[in-house]
């Protein structure tokens, strides 16, 4: 099958399709017993990412179980930061970067790298995954957007206040801009590499952009997200995820991406009206709904699809990633709802 004929790819072009394609953010994850078994075998989270056979295996696991219309590579948005020279650690509390970038000297020391030389395990995992996927299933690459990567790099990990990155962008815009320029260039290189290794489309995750006001978003995040998307135009279809985006969503619709992934706080029917046919939309069931019974998940997913109303250019997904303590049967019910819409 020509990759452009896969269901997801046709939906991203806003063609009329037989049913909405479906996949889930974090569909390869801790809620699956087979994932937990593979993680134990590999020895840890980063060991799975760095060993292509394990990364491909966990990427394929939800496809075997549920038959989603897309597989998204099992990796992490912080992998490029490690390749650029930052120390990266994972523990039970999540990721940490023990030597954060808080001076111009540290920012200048961050190096641009060739993904094929420093992140070859990503390319090999993509090739192994493509070989194991059904022909009709699309393969997605991904990366963090520059602002989200900058937030992690300057803060040294997850945070609620983002005080260090805010101080940098408010007090030393020149250094902040230098950091964002480097990150944008690395993101583009990383995504181009993933496409060259088999990704049909790419997702740019701007998870932390929603912590900014609209004015700050337009000054401190949007220019570099636009740049990434512009530099990838014609390379592969682009999906941009904008977290907590209600206050700047109309700006994201102007970016030119093939699709905008919505968080679960935005009513999807209203979002289609605001998008005015400029892009496809992805989403956006609240991932917490998957804590309900399978029957209720099925009902709520059909209600969301009713709100979409069969408009072309819809990719069914959650408004964020699958929670680790989600019942696998409820993920099955979510996927089933999309397949029940087949015409």
- SS3 letters across 83-128: HCCCCCEEECCEEECCCCCCCHHHHHHCCCCCHHHHCHHHHHHHHH
26 counts as catalytic: yes
Look at residues 159, 245, 228 and name the one whose alpha carbon lies nearest to residue 188: 228
Characterize 84-112 residue by residue with b for buried, 16 or more Cβ atoms within 10 angstroms of its Cβ, and e for exposed: bebebeeeeeebbbeebbbeeebbeebee
Write the DSSP string, 304-341: HHHHHTT-SSEEB-BSSPPPTT--HHHHHHHHHHHHTT
pLDDT attached to residue 3 = 87
pLDDT attached to residue 1 = 75
Tell me the two tokens of residue 238: 């682009």
152 counts as catalytic: yes
pLDDT attached to residue 160 = 80
18 CB neighbour count, 10 Å cutoff? 10
Instruction: Give, in order, the Cα–Cα distances in Å from 123 to each of 117, 167, 188, 206, 315.
Output: 10, 36, 15, 22, 25
Beta strand ranges found along the chain (DSSP E): 70-72, 89-91, 94-96, 138-144, 201-206, 238-242, 259-261, 280-282, 314-315
Catalytic residue among 13, 39, 127, 214: 39
Our count of domains for the chain comes to 1
**How many residues would you count in the chain?**
343
pLDDT attached to residue 72 = 98
Residues in the chain predicted with pLDDT less than 50, given as ranges, are none
Catalytic residue among 31, 35, 66, 152: 152
The residues pairing with 318 across neighbouring beta strands, listed in sequence order, are 285
* Residue matched to tokens 């220019």: 223
76 counts as catalytic: yes
- State the residue range of the domain holding 316: 3-339
Q: Domain holding 322: CATH number?
A: 3.20.20.210
pLDDT attached to residue 313 = 98
Catalytic residue among 6, 26, 166, 192: 26
The residues pairing with 241 across neighbouring beta strands, listed in sequence order, are 205, 261
Q: Decide: 45 and 90 in contact? Cβ < 8 Å.
A: yes
Catalytic residue among 13, 65, 76, 227: 76
pLDDT attached to residue 161 = 86
pLDDT attached to residue 93 = 77
């Amino acid at each position: 099958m020509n990759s452009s004929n896969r269901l997801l790819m046709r939906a991203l072009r806003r063609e009329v399709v037989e049913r909405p394609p479906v996949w889930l953010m974090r569909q390869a994850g801790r809620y699956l017993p087979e994932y937990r078994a593979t993680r134990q075998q590999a020895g840890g989270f980063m060991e799975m990412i760095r060993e292509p056979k394990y990364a491909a295996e966990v990427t394929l696991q939800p496809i075997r179980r549920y038959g989603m219309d897309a597989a998204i590579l099992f990796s992490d948005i912080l992998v490029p930061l490690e390749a650029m020279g930052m120390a990266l650690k994972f523990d039970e509390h999540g990721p940490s970067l023990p030597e954060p970038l808080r001076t111009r000297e540290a920012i200048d020391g961050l190096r641009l790298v060739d993904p094929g030389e420093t992140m070859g395990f990503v390319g090999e995992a993509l090739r192994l995954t493509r070989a194991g996927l059904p022909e009709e299933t699309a393969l997605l690459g991904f990366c963090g957007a520059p602002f989200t990567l900058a937030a992690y790099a300057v803060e040294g990990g997850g945070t609620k206040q983002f005080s260090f990155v805010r101080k940098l962008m408010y007090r030393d815009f020149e250094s902040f801009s230098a950091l964002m320029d480097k990150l944008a260039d690395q993101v583009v290189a990383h995504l181009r590499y993933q496409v060259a290794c088999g990704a049909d489309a790419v997702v740019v995750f701007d998870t932390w952009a929603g912590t900014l006001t609209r004015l700050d978003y337009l000054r401190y995040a949007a220019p570099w997200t636009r740049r990434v998307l512009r530099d990838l135009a014609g390379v592969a279809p682009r999906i941009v995820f904008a977290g907590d985006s209600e206050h700047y969503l109309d700006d994201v619709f102007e970016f030119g991406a093939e699709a905008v992934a919505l968080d679960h706080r935005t009513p999807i029917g209203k979002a289609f009206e605001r998008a005015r046919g400029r892009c496809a939309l992805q989403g956006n069931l609240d991932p917490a709904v998957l804590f309900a019974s399978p029957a209720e998940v099925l009902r709520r997913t059909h209600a969301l699809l009713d709100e979409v109303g069969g408009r072309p250019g819809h990719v069914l997904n959650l408004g964020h990633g699958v929670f680790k303590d989600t019942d696998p049967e409820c993920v099955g019910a979510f996927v089933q709802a999309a397949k029940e819409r087949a015409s």
